[in-house]
Amino acid sequence: METLKAEEFLNRLAECREAYWEKLNAERKSYGAEKPLSPAIVLRRLQFGVVMERKAAEVTARWVGQIPDLDLQQPMSEYVVNELKHTSILRQRIKELNGDPDALWNEPLPELKELWDFHASLTSLCELIASVQFGHEEFFPRTSKSFIERVASIDPKTASIYRDTLLADEAGHEWIAPEILSRYAQDGATQQKCLEALKRGCELFGRAIQSFNRSMPS
């Protein structure tokens, strides 16, 4: 692929991601991702969150030591800390609700495992960032918004955790991924690999949340 200017490259990545979002959002509604919540569904959703937060930290941590510039290395290490902090907060909430915090962590759905195995297998920082932080992590505030609206009336504490901590921290680290990609994905071959990683990541994420929604207690 010919080398794109940073801005064009980010636009290309964003276009791909948004195309997946449209497809995924239509599908989520069709398989009942937005149906009314029961306490069992809330618990399951929190258990899913434990896997997503902890895995995001784990797959990213191994690359932090290889970020050349300190002004990106430091915020990326804080990102890892935040995701682990979110894991702890979610695990604590699950315990308060008398659930098993590691139910999905210990026995992940195959599609969820496939998603994170893919991220763990990526061979460069830029591909990882394109696929996780610039990719499906951008969907988190969108799916959380409807979850917060629906959970607020039955479990205000969980709604507050999502709104006041998880999403607030998310907003604080959204700038890092585009900055890393524009600074380090400087040649056509790397940019091409990033696009492929983002597409594959979105595809696997779509499958993982579909499998998750289908496995939901009724």
Q: Binding residues for Fe ion, per CB under 5 A?
A: 53, 83, 86, 170
* Nearest distance from C-beta of residue 189 to Fe ion, angstroms: 28
155 or 170: whose CB is closer to Fe ion? 170
* Nearest distance from C-beta of residue 181 to Fe ion, angstroms: 16
173 or 192: whose CB is closer to Fe ion? 173
Residue 85's nearest CA partner among 191, 189, 168, 202 is: 168
How many residues are there in the chain?
218
* Nearest distance from C-beta of residue 116 to Fe ion, angstroms: 14
4 or 176: whose CB is closer to Fe ion? 176
Q: Alpha-carbon Rg of the chain, whole angstroms?
A: 17
165 or 211: whose CB is closer to Fe ion? 165
Residue 154 φ then ψ, to 5°: -100, -20
- Answer yes or no: are the C-beta atoms of 126 and 194 closer than 8 Å: yes
The whole-angstrom separation of Cα 107 and Cα 128 is 24
Residue 67 φ then ψ, to 5°: -80, 120
- Answer yes or no: are the C-beta atoms of 59 and 132 closer than 8 Å: yes
Residue nearest to Fe ion (CB): 86
* Nearest distance from C-beta of residue 142 to Fe ion, angstroms: 13
